[in-house]
Structure 1
């Protein structure tokens, strides 16, 4: 009886090990900034040990094990992990967050993640080398008319910057303001002369700020914040 029990336990463990060790091929595509495919992006399956890079259109296929974890990593992106479960589709669409700085824009092009033309079309950005910011009376005049699809509406204590259009009569449609990496409620006191650059972030790129970024994000870096 004892031998039978040991045999049964051994058989059960072998089945469990066999199920754990089953291979599975997962296909997918990696995007950033709404719909921009990411090439040369590293994908690692932690359990199987497989490592691949995405092709020029962001596609990949990789051999995994059951309960594996896929790690997506690039030098100018926030790493992302996806757990391989029975419910996971064999074809994945993975969106990774680009860490938006001027230096990272150059690195993204240099590493071949994206082309210069595609990145320029995906990111709306102004910096002080492109424009004399000091020639504007305030930050709202600076924003007004400089970014396609962005409106500055007067009213209330200060004007309101709207990126996605007015979507609600009762809820605020104002963009989220991020200054030197911190979320703030107002940008009216910022002198244009103190601004290093301004980004307008929308669509999936704004998702890094969660529900607060639903109306898009105005991200400002000041000369003080640069130091």
Structure 2
């Protein structure tokens, strides 16, 4: 029966305990070693070590020599081979980490470039919209010129009206003189006039028969 994919697998028991190595810590150590091996100080230390090894095994006391010159310094050759065999993987590991770091940096640069491009396009569109809006807005000089034109038109109309009024006055001079007012009887004498008129009518009337 096939195992279910939604259930975790049981941990297998081993005779030897598993050693968990933190990848980041081991990578930092390998990068430190690779950086140190690529410095002039490492070359100086390696040269001094080899000179001391060769000098002691060549001119040192025979009883204390541990690497024979007759055999071509076999121990020194073995140590240098071991050093080279370990240094190569460490350098490759440091290069892989640097490659991953460069890849992440390139991705971040690409995303940053896309954001900058989008921001630039947005600002360009906003600037174009502002230019279009400003082209439709009346400027101070335009408003002043329009007000000046309106004032000139009003002045021309006023002068035309004044000239027309002067021409009408010259054609009809009697209209300019004030009209005489008619004499109006006083209001207080209306009753007396009525009485006198009534009395006159009564005097003109024929006498009544006796």
TM over 0.5: no
Q: TM-score, normalised by structure 1?
A: 0.19
Q: TM-score, normalised by structure 2?
A: 0.20
Larger Rg: 2
Structure ranking higher in strand proportion: 1
